[in-house]
Chain A
Amino acid sequence: MDASLELRGIVAGYGQGDILRGLDLDVPAGQITCLIGPNGAGKSTVLRVISGLLEPRAGHVRLAGEDVTGWSPQRMLERGVAHVPQERSLFPSMSVWDNMLMGAYIIDDRAAVVRRATEIADRWPIVARRRNDLAGSLSGGEQKTVEIARAMMLDPPVICFDEPSVGLEPRARKNIFGILAELSSDGRTILLVEQNARSGLAIAHTGAVLDAGIARLVAPASELLESPEVGRLYLGAP
């Protein structure tokens, strides 16, 4: 399936100002695209526009060629686009298991949902181990892992990750990047926003630099990693 995303001339913001000012971005099918940029550049806003949390004021979002601009998150999920947000998104007072069931909320067949959750639990040991614990009692890294596992409930071909490694200790961070690479090798389309730009670009095929509301630079990830100018401006000292 050609699950590419295309953003054309996206203008979006909150309240009065525009945060994105005519953004064009291509997320090729089956690849990891890593979006980097300074804090407050609007990276999370891009993901919110894609997943339908925020309706753009102008421009178009296309999924595999179809115009999906302004679709609700529910419709986007039905079309196979998941969004794992930057903030913690587990339901803290629900059990890990109930969180998993919530991951397939849009599916009405209860038996199928439970079957799927059991499959995920087989593959993600943390889910099986902490199944009956309240999600809020898990550590930050564990929570992020469960969030990603929950996003897998619908087996979405396209996933947007917003800074999945933020605030994690080094081991958990490495673990998360491992998971992302693995998900990508299944052929999924991944749009990754990363503050740890070096680690993000290292697993990505394509890199894009977001600054002042537009994509300033789009190039193969390896080129961005090597470019001295990008390094100086966006990656920090090597």
Chain B
Amino acid sequence: MTWLGRESRTRPGGALQAFAFLGALAVLPVVMGRHWQVNLLVFTLMYAGLASAWNLVGGYAGYAALGHGAFFGIGAYAMAIGTTHLGVGTGYRPFLLVLPIAVGTALAVVPIARLLLRTRAATFAVLSITVMFMVQTFAYNIRSLTHGSQGIAVPVPPFPFTTFERPFYYAMAILLALTVAVCWAVRSSQLGLALNAVRDDEDRARGLGVQTELVKLIAFSLSAGLTAAFGAVWAYYISYVFPGFAIDPLLSLGAILMAFLGGRHTLWGPVVGAALIVPAQQYFAYRYGASHLYLIAYAALFLIVIYLLPDGILPSTTQRLNRLRTRSRARTTPDLLPMEALNPRGESE
């Protein structure tokens, strides 16, 4: 398809992109080594990962999931409870919990996901967010486990002060690389095709023999598991979880905003979106965090993105590049157009 869009296995560009990305991830904290810089990078990678994970459901399958904050919170609480109640210890050992938490969440969400995925469009969006409210209620009210609104303090790891953020940075980097790899694998497999079909016309896809229920479920479960993994690392990094903070509606909305800005249903869009928005977000939080201007700035940013760049940066850029290329090549073959072109946002029947 396009250089930033759907990759094919045979393209050497894919491997090149992967190397460049991993290289950048490895050297970034060395180049930008100050505390506030690495802290910013930790959050940027986290959101890039959250937005990519959301994209599996919200982008590829076209299901507007609004409640991923629930899975993030589950991951965060699992980490907090694991390190305090279970006595996993401190230092690097809590990181060992991340994988089991991800897998556990991915499996645990299956029953509720099956229920949610029986609905579509607006109803799905509504139900997905109610799941988040449900998890939040648990966090507030099962006090023996969560200490209710008091929250849980996670033991602060004994990392050296000068490089305190590094381990968290690399944990986030590994998770992000894993998430992008999962997205890539999904896109270049049958599963990706099936999800595309679901997004375009689910009834027709089912009619053509796509196992729509199964593919949606796999996408959702992967997405939830990856989201929980980020939540787990976050909890250890922040070393404090509290219901309103760990299960935050703004978190899902932020991830969605980044995916939209970069380009929904592209591989790199969410990463690009996060790289652009997280610094702004952190700046707002730093400047206005205590006051409520933060919420206003956030909403304004969201509206600006949706109205000025409804297709996202990457698809708009690729479209423009394609137009440049095809102009010199005289005639367009429809195969060269990005998906968005075939899916006009004009009127529908």
Contacts and interface: CB of A to CB of B under 8 A. Distances in A.
B345 A15 contact: yes
Interface string A97-122: 00000000000000000000000000
B178 interface: no
Nearest to A86: B349
A87 B346 contact: no
A134 interface: no
A54 B341 CA distance: 19
B173 to A, nearest CB: 39
Interface centre among A14, A54, A87 (most CB of B within 10 A): A14
Contacts of B344: 14-16
Interface string A1-31: 0000000000000111000000000000000
- Which applies to chain A's interface (DSSP): helix, strand, loop or mixed? loop
B347 A54 contact: yes
Contacts of A87: 349
Contacts of B345: 15
Contacts of A54: 347
A94 to B, nearest CB: 20
A41 B35 CA distance: 63
Contacts of B343: 15
Contacts of A14: 344, 346-347
A53 B347 CA distance: 10
Interface string A126-151: 00000000000000000000000000
Nearest to B346: A14
Contact-size category for B:
under 10
Contacts of B337: 16
A15 to B, nearest CB: 2
Contact-size category for A:
under 10
Interface centre among A14, A15, A54 (most CB of B within 10 A): A15
Interface in B283-333: none
A171 to B, nearest CB: 28
Interface in A22-57: 53-54
Contacts of A53: 347
Contacts of B349: 87
A14 B346 CA distance: 6
Nearest to B344: A15
Contacts of A15: 341-346
A16 B347 contact: no
B2 to A, nearest CB: 15
Interface centre among A16, A53, A87 (most CB of B within 10 A): A16
A87 B343 CA distance: 21
A15 B343 CA distance: 8
A212 to B, nearest CB: 15
Nearest to A54: B347
A14 B341 CA distance: 10
A182 to B, nearest CB: 30
Nearest to A87: B349
A220 to B, nearest CB: 34
3 closest residue pairs by CB, A with B: A15-B344, A14-B346, A14-B344
Given A14-B346, A15-B343, A15-B345, 7 more contacts: A15-B341, A15-B342, A15-B344, A16-B337, A16-B344, A54-B347, A87-B349
15 contacts: A14-B344, A14-B346, A14-B347, A15-B341, A15-B342, A15-B343, A15-B344, A15-B345, A15-B346, A16-B337, A16-B341, A16-B344, A53-B347, A54-B347, A87-B349
